[in-house]
Chain A
Amino acid sequence: MARDIKELKNIAKRMRCHIIQMIGRAGSGHPGGSLSSVELLTALYFSELRINPKKPNWPERDRFVLSKGHAAPALYAALAMRGFFPVQELLTLRQLGSRLQGHPERDVKIGIEVSTGSLGHGFSQAVGIALAGKIDKKKYKVYVLLGDGECDEGIVWEAAMFASKYKLDNLIAIVDRNHFQLSGSTKSVMPLSPLAKKWGSFDWKVFEINGHNLNQILSTLEKAKKVKGKPVVIIANTVKGKGVSFMENTYEWHGKAPKGELLEKALEELGCK
Chain B
Amino acid sequence: MQVEPESMRVAYGTTLAELGANHKDIVVLDADLSCSTQTQRFGDKFPNRFFNVGIAEQNMADVSAGLSIAGKIVFMSSFAVFLSRAYEQIRNAIAIQNLNVKIVATHGGISVGPDGGSHQMLEDFNLMRGLPNMKVFVPADARETAALTKALVNINGPCYMRVSRMSVLPIYSKKFKFDPFKADVLKRGKDVSLFASGLMVKEAMEAADMLKKEGINAEVINVHCLKPIDSKTLLNSARKTGAVVTSEEHSIYGGLGSATAEILAEHYPVPMIRIGVKDKFGQSGKPEELFKFYGLTAKDIYKAAKKVLKRKEGKK
Q: Contact residues of A with B, CB < 8 Å? A: 105-106, 113-115, 117-118, 120-121, 124-133, 135-136, 154-155, 158-159, 161-162, 165-166
Contact = CB atoms under 8 A, between A and B. Distances in A.
Given A115-B93, A115-B97, A166-B51, A125 B65 contact: yes
Interface residues of B, number: 26
B58 A158 contact: yes
Interface string B70-84: 111000000000000
Interface string B108-130: 00000000000000000000000
A147 B49 CA distance: 31
B59 A132 contact: no
B270 interface: no
B56 A128 contact: no
Contact of A131 (B51, B88, B96, B97): B51
9 contacts: A106-B69, A121-B65, A124-B62, A126-B66, A131-B63, A132-B70, A155-B59, A158-B58, A158-B59
Contacts of B63: 124-125, 127-128, 131, 159, 162
Q: Is the interface of A mostly helix, strand, loop or mixed?
A: helix
B27 interface: yes
B59 A133 contact: no
B51 to A, nearest CB: 7
B48 interface: yes
A118 B92 contact: yes
B49 A125 contact: no
B64 interface: yes
B58 A115 contact: no
A121 B69 CA distance: 13
Given A118-B88, A127-B59, A158-B53, 20 more contacts: A106-B69, A114-B69, A120-B62, A121-B62, A121-B89, A121-B92, A124-B58, A125-B65, A125-B69, A125-B93, A127-B62, A127-B63, A131-B66, A131-B67, A133-B70, A136-B71, A158-B56, A159-B62, A161-B54, A162-B63
A127 B63 CA distance: 6
Interface string B31-57: 000000000000000001101011010
A161 B62 CA distance: 14
B89 A162 contact: no
Contacts of B53: 158, 162
Contact of A129 (B49, B66, B97): B66
A14 B303 CA distance: 74
A125 B58 CA distance: 11
B92 A128 contact: no
B71 A124 contact: no
A113 B66 CA distance: 10
A158 B89 CA distance: 13
Contact of A117 (B67, B71, B92): B92
Return the 10 tightest CB-CB contacts between A and B, nearest first: A128-B66, A132-B70, A124-B62, A158-B59, A125-B66, A128-B63, A158-B56, A129-B66, A128-B67, A155-B58
B69 A162 contact: no
